[in-house]
Amino acid sequence: MSIGILKPTEKRARLVGFLLLGAFGLFLVAGGMSIPFLFESFSIKYKFGFHRALLRSGKVIGIVAGVLLFLQLVLVSRLGALNRWVGMDQLVQWHRKNGIFLAFLALSHPLFIFGPEDIQTLPISWEFWPEVVGALLLMGLFYMVASGLLKTWLAFPFHLWMRAHRFGGGFLILAFFVHLLFSSESFEEGLPRLAGLVLALASIVLLLWRHLPFFRPLSRWAVSGVFPAGVQTTQLVLSSEEKKKFLFFPGQFVFLQFFDSEISSEAHPFTVASAPTSNQLEFFIGSHGDWTSQLKRVKAGDAVRVEGPYGRFSYLVLSDERPLLFIAGGVGVTPMLSMLRFLKENYGKRRVRLVWSVRTPHHLFCVSELSRFQESMDGFSMHLLFSHGLGGRRLDQEALSQFVEEFLDAEVFLCGPPPMMRDVGRILVDLGIGKRRIYTEVFGF
Ligand SMILES: Cc1cc2nc3c(=O)[nH]c(=O)nc-3n(C[C@H](O)[C@H](O)[C@H](O)COP(=O)(O)OP(=O)(O)OC[C@H]3O[C@@H](n4cnc5c(N)ncnc54)[C@H](O)[C@@H]3O)c2cc1C
């Protein structure tokens, strides 16, 4: 059965997305790097030998750092096709790595420029305001990288860090273009200036795209129920008055935002646990921190804004019809629930196994529904593991080899706490499951 206009994307989609983004980035980088050669500024023209090479390198480095900064924005602008092809988790990973690389690249830019220009101190005066903007930009970049890397260690509240990171990122992009267009001779006129202005305009459009609700895939829902589900987990059910069906792949996630509830209005990502064929959206939300522990205050009738769907953690994005092995830890079972509910309605001849590890039996939810699936789906089996209490059992090599034995040819979907995912992933590879057939979803960016 199809789920509307969404077409399952192929395994190759991630590669296509990567190649397209890479080609776009290379085009910008190559174009930018050619500017100090094709449009020689006076400062380059009147330098010779080593100084000339240094100055030109400094300009090339600055331009490449600027292009990478622009790509930072592209990566987190939640552009529909890019998210569908590559997946938001992968894009966020690239954003993180690219940010660190570009900060160090940007640091070498003034060092290369200052040497041949014989500038020994920072030119701090009104006359040199574009250079001062550049210095602030560099400091801002390092602040962003350091705060991102150290946020957990410094126990920064995530929502405050995220807000500061977003605003900071926007200001850094704008500061870059001010610095480029007002301090660099190469960008004073002609094609380089036009290219700089076009990229600045594209950045403003992306910032508006990312922040103005008008452009985002939003829909309005209302809370129809909030119930306790297992220890420290809340079941949230939403219904919509809109006639239009909400289309998603089972396993995808959305951002939820409450406006008129007694809970803060920041957006948080959660996987839809219901099947795409249901008229309601159902979520199981663990109390992980300040926002999720306030969820009890939400009442039936409260308005919710849903943004999405996002993500590629779904068997529907795969073209193969291999058996499916779902391995979940705790509330990481939510994408599996959605996939199993959808599979139950569209059940073929596929072999499916769920291995779900929770702390104690009290941490389970929806377990009677899942048990019933075993009766209606011939090829479905479920195994529960309790890690705590008497006879507690972990997802170690011994346990996994038992569950994986008949599923060595399966596509594996793995979701749970990061340490568990790391250990299980390693064991699965040792047991002979190819890395390329293990799909993971991390519940955090
Ligand atoms: C793709 C995805 C799907 C998820 N699905 C589920 C689910 O089905 N059930 C469930 O219980 N949890 C799910 N989560 C985790 C959930 O989003 C976080 O636990 C929740 O946002 C924590 O917020 P907090 O303020 O209570 O905790 P905090 O202590 O503020 O945050 C704990 C961690 O959650 C992540 N986080 C917090 N706020 C955000 C945000 N606004 N955007 C992105 N990440 C954030 C960060 O990694 C942070 O370190 C999912 C997360 C992601 C990324």
Query: Can you read off the two tokens belonging to residue 410?
Result: 């399966």
> Is residue 250 in contact with ligand 1, taking CB distance under 6 Å?
no
The answer for residues whose C-beta is within 8 angstroms of residue 95's C-beta and 6 or more apart is 72, 75, 76
Q: Model pTM?
A: 0.87
> Is residue 270 in contact with ligand 1, taking CB distance under 6 Å?
yes
Instruction: Look at residue 7 in the predicted model and tell me its pLDDT.
Output: 43
CA distance 381 to 370: 9
> Is residue 269 in contact with ligand 1, taking CB distance under 6 Å?
yes
Ligand 1 probe mutation, 96, 158, 310, most atoms within 8 A of CB = 158
Instruction: Look at residue 445 in the predicted model and tell me its pLDDT.
Output: 78
Looking at ligand 1, which residue's alpha carbon is closest to its atom 46? 444
CA 285 to ligand 1 centroid distance, Å? 9
Looking at ligand 1, which residue's alpha carbon is closest to its atom 5? 270
51-87 b/e (C-beta count within 10 Å ≥ 16 → b):
ebebbbbbbbbbbbbbbbbbbbbbbbbbbeebbbbbb
Q: Report mean pLDDT in 10-residue bins for the chain, 445 residues.
A: 43 76 90 84 71 85 95 91 84 94 94 74 76 93 95 88 93 95 88 94 91 81 92 93 84 92 88 94 92 89 92 86 94 97 84 95 93 90 89 88 92 95 95 91 87
Segment (H or E) for 334: helix 334-345
> Using alpha carbons only, what angle is made at residue 71 by residues 158 and 93, rounded to the nearest 5 degrees?
45
Residue 234 main-chain phi, psi, to 5 deg: -120, 135
Residue 310 main-chain phi, psi, to 5 deg: -135, 165
Instruction: Look at residue 117 in the predicted model and tell me its pLDDT.
Output: 67
> Is residue 331 in contact with ligand 1, taking CB distance under 6 Å?
yes
3-state helix, strand, coil in the chain (%, to 5): 55, 15, 30
Residue 388 main-chain phi, psi, to 5 deg: -115, 165
> Is residue 326 in contact with ligand 1, taking CB distance under 6 Å?
no
